[in-house]
Amino acid sequence: KDTAESLKASYKKTLKLFKEYDKTKDNSLLQPPVIEEITFDDAEDYFSKNNWAHPYLDAVNAKASEPLYSEADSVFKKAVKMRDEAIEKAIAAEKENIERERKLLKYNDLLNKARDIGRKERKYDEALKMLKEAVELLPDEIEGRWGLATALHHSGNLKDSLSAYKKLIADYPDNHKFRFEMGQVYLLNDQMQKGLKHIGEAMKHTSEFDNFLVRLADLYVSSGLVDKALIAYEKYIQKYPYNYEALNKYSECL
C-alpha cells in the first residue's frame, strides 16, 4: 500500500505525458530509455542481501553479449538457484501461515466494523461482541485486546475493562498508554488512589500525557494532596503558560 501510494505521483505524471503525446504526436515529448551499463562488480553485494533479481536481470541481458557471457552465466546460475530456493520457502511459508492469514483477514474486518458501529452508530453491545470475537480469533494480537479494554471502559463495564488492561500491562509493561488509560478506569470506578498512582506512574516515563496534568492537579486537590497538586499545576503551566483557568486554579491552590 505504501509503495503504491508513493508511486501514484509518478504514474499520474506518466499518464499525463501519454495523453499529451496522444493528442499532439509531438516526438519531443518522448524520452529515450537510458541503457545502464551491465557490470557484475556488485552482484555479490546483492546476493549477500538475498536480492537475486537484479543480478538475474543483468545476467539475462548480458548473456547475449559475447565478452560477458562466461561471467554472466555464472551469475545467472547462482541467481536462478537463489530464486528457486526463495520460491520453495514462499510456498512452504504460505502453507504454514495460510490459516493465520485467513484469520487475520477476518480479524481486521471485525475490528473495522466494531470501530464503525461503536463510533458512528453508538451500538456498543454489538461492537463489544465483535471485539470479543476478534480477540478469541487472534488472542496474541494487541489491537483487538486494546480495543476491547477501551470499549469495555466506555460501555461502563469497568471491572472487565480493568481486567483487560491488567493483562495488557503484564504483557506490554513498556506501553505507558495502557497504564494511563487503566488509571482513568480506576478513577471512574471510584478508586482514586489507585487511579492516581497508575496515571502518575505512566506520566513519569513520557510527556505524551502532559495535557492531563491540570486534571491530575485537580484530582490531587480534591484528595487533599496539595503539595502534589502544586507540582502538577507548575509542570502544566510551564508547558501551557496561556491557560488562564489553570493559572487561576494554581493561585487558589497556593
Give how far Cα 80 sits from Cα of 42, 91, 92, 190, Å.
Answer: 17, 17, 18, 67
Nearest to 195 by CA among 206, 185, 207, 210: 185
Q: Which residues contact 137 (CB under 8 A, 6 or more apart)?
A: 103, 106, 107, 110, 144
For the chain, the average pLDDT equals 88
Segment 92-100 shows an average pLDDT of 84
| Residue pLDDT, tens place only, 17-48 | 889 999 998 888 877 767 677 888 889 999 99
**Residue whose C-alpha is closest to residue 65's, from 26, 37, 99, 100:** 37
Residue identified by cell 486534571 is 215
What residue has cell string 546476493? 47
125-145: per-residue pLDDT in tens?
888 899 999 999 999 899 999
Cα distance between residue 96 and residue 176, in whole Å: 34
Check whether 247 has a pLDDT greater than 90. Answer: yes
Q: So what's the pLDDT on residue 186?
A: 93
CA neighbor of 191 nearest in space, from 166, 162, 170, 160: 162
pTM for the predicted model, two decimal places? 0.59
Q: Of 73-77, 96-100, 162-166, 199-203, which one has max mean pLDDT?
A: 162-166
% pLDDT > 70, the chain: 96
Q: What is the mean pLDDT of residues 171-186?
A: 92
8 Å CB contact between 224 and 247: no
Contact by Cβ (8 Å): 130, 117? yes
Q: Which residues lie closer than 8 Å to 230 by C-beta, 6 or more apart?
A: 217, 250, 253, 254
- What's the rounded Cα separation, in Å, for the pair 14 and 9? 9
Measure the CA–CA gap between 142 and 174, rounded to whole angstroms.
13
